[in-house]
Chain A
Amino acid sequence: MKLAYYPGCTLKTTAKNFDSSTVAVAKVMGVELVEPSRWNCCGTVHALVKDDVMHYLAPIRNLVRVEEMNAEGTVEDKQVVTQCAMCYNTLKRANTVANADPEKMGKIRDIMEKEPEYSGSVDVVHFLEMLKKEGWEKVAGFVKKPLEGLKVVPYYGCLLLRPREFGIDDPDSPSIMEDLLRSLGAEIVDIPFKAKCCGAYHTVYSKEVTADLSHRILEQALEAGADIVSTACPLCQYNLGDRQKTIAEIFRDFEPIPVVYYTQLMALAFGLEEEATGLDQNYPDPRPVLEEKGLV
Chain B
Amino acid sequence: MSTGKSGLYYTYGSENRLFKEKVEELSGENIDLCFQCGACSSGCPLTTEMDLLPSTVIRYAQLGIDEVLESKTIWLCSTCFNCEVRCPRGIDIANVMEALRQMVLRTKYDKVSLDDLTPEELRELPQVALVSTFRKLTA
Consider the complex of A and B and state whether they touch directly, i.e. have CB atoms less than 8 Å apart: yes
| A144 located at the interface, meaning its Cβ lies under 8 Å from any Cβ of chain B in the complex | no
Task: Give the contacts of A200-217 with B (CB-CB under 8 A).
Answer: 200-205, 209, 212-213
| B130 located at the interface, meaning its Cβ lies under 8 Å from any Cβ of chain A in the complex | yes
CB pair B130 A204 closer than 8 Å: yes
CB pair B85 A201 closer than 8 Å: no
The count of residues in chain A whose C-beta lies closer than 8 Å to any C-beta of chain B is 41
Tell me the bound Cα distance from A164 to B27 in angstroms: 17
Complex interface: chain B residues within 8 A of A51 (CB):
25-26
CB pair B132 A45 closer than 8 Å: yes
Tell me the bound Cα distance from A7 to B46 in angstroms: 30
With A197-B45, A209-B49 as known contacts, state yes or no: A45 contacts B84, CB within 8 Å. no
CB pair B85 A204 closer than 8 Å: no
Closest chain A residue to B24, Cβ basis: A50
Tell me the bound Cα distance from A238 to B133 in angstroms: 14
Tell me the bound Cα distance from A158 to B79 in angstroms: 9
| B 22-42 binary contact with A (CB < 8 Å = 1; else 0) | 000111100000000000000
- Of the stretches B3-11, B13-21, B56-64, B94-102, the one at the interface is B94-102
Looking at chain A's contact residues, is the secondary structure mostly helix, strand, loop, or mixed? loop
| A106 located at the interface, meaning its Cβ lies under 8 Å from any Cβ of chain B in the complex | no
Tell me the bound Cα distance from A235 to B94 in angstroms: 19
| A163 located at the interface, meaning its Cβ lies under 8 Å from any Cβ of chain B in the complex | yes
CB pair A44 B132 closer than 8 Å: yes
Closest chain A residue to B132, Cβ basis: A201
CB pair B127 A201 closer than 8 Å: no
Task: Give the contacts of B56-109 with A (CB-CB under 8 A).
Answer: 76, 78-82, 84-85, 92, 94-95, 98-99, 102
Complex interface: chain A residues within 8 A of B46 (CB):
197, 209, 213
Tell me the bound Cα distance from A163 to B29 in angstroms: 14
Among B95, B112, B125, residue most surrounded by chain A Cβ atoms (within 10 Å): B125
- Of the stretches A9-17, A73-81, A271-279, the one at the interface is A9-17
CB pair A171 B85 closer than 8 Å: yes
CB pair B80 A204 closer than 8 Å: no
In the assembled complex, 14 residue pairs joining A and B whose CB atoms fall closer than 8 Å, in A order, are A41-B127, A48-B98, A49-B98, A86-B132, A87-B128, A158-B79, A158-B81, A162-B84, A196-B80, A201-B133, A202-B78, A205-B137, A209-B76, A235-B126
- Other than the given A197-B78, A205-B117, A234-B128, 11 more pairs (CB < 8 A) read A10-B127, A15-B126, A45-B136, A48-B27, A200-B79, A202-B76, A204-B112, A204-B130, A205-B112, A209-B76, A235-B128
